[in-house]
Amino acid sequence: MLRKLGSFIFETLQVIIFAVSIFLFIYLLVLQPHKIKGQSMFPNFEDGEFLLTDKVSYRFGEAMRGDVVVFQAPGTEQDFIKRIIGLPGDIVMVKDGNVFINNKQLHESYLSDDVKTHPSRFSAEGASATVPSGSFFVLGDNRGNSLDSRSFGFINKNAISGKAWFVYWPPNIAGPVESPLYSL
């Protein structure tokens, strides 16, 4: 009887250790949950939604325009969630309420037609800036209520912790995070 109890406890501990190991592997190296805080990505992501961030994609591939990424904001310990707009080598300009990439207006299908992009500290009206190698220009979808590259400049690729992959809460909107296609 005592031997069976000892065997049961040992097997149970093995299962728990195995499960915790798998969880830690996935959490530290593959996927990580994030909570949307604030309105900077509204209406595409709302305050309080939860999503999974893919931490592997950018180890094997390049970031693309339109990817929604989680990164450590410059000068803070805080994670931000924004959309990549400018890639390394792109010339970015904010003018007349629109975003231009390499002198062509960026048409953003995920935004309503009345959304205007206004300049800020880093991006003066009509002034162009070239995205440095290893960096990105990011914007929130709620352009009137977003602290983004217009305010703090380019973000370094190393600051990105992952790509938004799947919204899992609330369940009624659960699904993959799509990256839009642009015609530039």
Q: What's the pLDDT tens digit per position in 69-94?
A: 999 988 888 899 999 999 999 999 99
Per-residue pLDDT band at 164 (split at 50, 70, 90): very high
Distance CA 126, CA 107 (A): 17
Domains of the chain and CATH, by start: 33-176 (2.10.109.10)
| Region 94-122 average pLDDT | 92
Task: Select from 83, 116, 84 the least CA-distant residue to 99.
Answer: 116
Given 40, 123, 146, 149, the catalytic residue? 40
Beta bridge partners of 31: 54
**Residue 82 annotated as catalytic:** yes
Q: How many residues does the chain have?
A: 184
Which one-letter DSSP state was computed for residue 158? Answer: G
List, for residues 10-50, the tens digit of each pLDDT value. Answer: 788 888 877 776 766 666 666 788 899 999 999 999 999 99
**Coil vs helix vs strand at 138:** strand
For the beta carbon of residue 9, count every other beta carbon within 10 angstroms: 10
Active-site option among 55, 82, 123, 149: 82
